[in-house]
Amino acid sequence: MARLLTGHVGMFKVGKQLFTLSGPEGLRQLSELGAKIFLDLKYHDIPNTVAGAVRAAVELPGVELLNVHALGGRAMMEAAVGAMPRGPNRPRLLAVTILTSLDGRALREVGIQGTPHDRAVKLAKLALACGIDGVVASPHELRAIRKACGPKFLLVPQGIRPAGSDVHDQKRFATPAEAIRDGANYVGVGRAITQAADPVAAAEAIASEIARALRHKN
Per-residue pLDDT 10s for the chain (218 aa) are 999 999 999 999 999 999 999 999 999 999 999 999 999 999 999 999 999 999 999 999 999 999 999 999 999 999 999 999 999 899 999 999 999 888 999 999 999 999 999 999 999 999 999 999 999 999 999 999 999 999 999 999 987 877 655 544 445 568 999 999 999 999 989 888 999 999 999 999 999 999 999 988 76
Smallest Cα–Cα separation from 187: which of 206, 215, 202?
A: 206
Which secondary structure element, helix H or strand E, spans residue 155, and what is its range?
A: strand 154-157
List active site positions.
Answer: 42
Q: Where are the domains of the chain?
A: 2-217
| DSSP one-letter code for 195 | T
CA distance 112 to 98: 11
CB-CB contact of 151 with 184 (8 Å): no
**How are strands ordered across the β-sheet holding 134-137?**
12-14, 37-43, 63-69, 92-96, 134-137, 154-157
Q: What is the pLDDT of residue 218?
A: 67
Choices 3.30.70.20, 3.10.620.30, 3.20.20.70, 3.40.50.620: CATH for 2-217: 3.20.20.70
